[in-house]
Structure 1
């Protein structure tokens, strides 16, 4: 048998090196935060700060129970007010926190939140009281944030990973 026709007889030094390196099987994926332009990263942190500020303002507005009539349960009133304040805080904080944690569905969540927020403010102002438009004013600082996230919608979910997902993937490869 000829050494050229039988692969087992080819000396090891004569084998052709592969054109694929080790990263071919494990392509390096980008972090979701790396897809964001620099202005959007800064704006995300500014929005986080404003959201934290709004949350603190809401929590500071919890009324005292000392001025309530005697027939009102003070503990129930206080608990209901705290729950309402927590819901309002979650509305302000969740869109930004999900982006900071690079959650896969954060961009979609932000788009749905924006649409629901606009619809809710419009319906409240039309059917109840135009004074509800003040809720819409607090939404204005989210609009550039949502506009910046819109082009990232597909690549955020499909092409990139969060830091936690990348660490988990690297641990799985090393074991």
Structure 2
């Protein structure tokens, strides 16, 4: 497995084109209305994106996070419990990264963190951190999570819990 840790040069990236379906557009519009990340006042909010299996939740979430989050200066912390979900999400962010060109963003830094990828100790100032729960929720992960998250109140951060129904388990 090849790891890509260099920043993505948006201008030189292949423009990945996949049309949003009507239900995905509706989901993105609902997320924008609920969170209003382009507004000046940032407050802690919780939300849940619910879509049927196979309807493109990851594609939709990544599209929204890039164009309504990263485009407005937010960093992303995406937590997942399985290796396949980390790989899928990492690939999706990389595929859709060229969409940031329309927002004047030239570079994007993405890091996958898991037992098969990079370590929490290597996470520093990335725009998008895609982490396994086991990498974050242990004594070594806790040491680096503060650096990854930044100073409270100073960083604009969106935390995503993939497969959120697992979040009630003690390991989360």
Structure having the higher helix fraction is 1
Structure having the higher strand fraction is 2
Higher CA-based Rg: 1
With a CA cutoff of 8 Å and minimum separation of 6, indicate the structure with the bigger relative contact order.
1
Q: TM-score scaled by structure 1?
A: 0.28
Q: TM-score scaled by structure 2?
A: 0.28
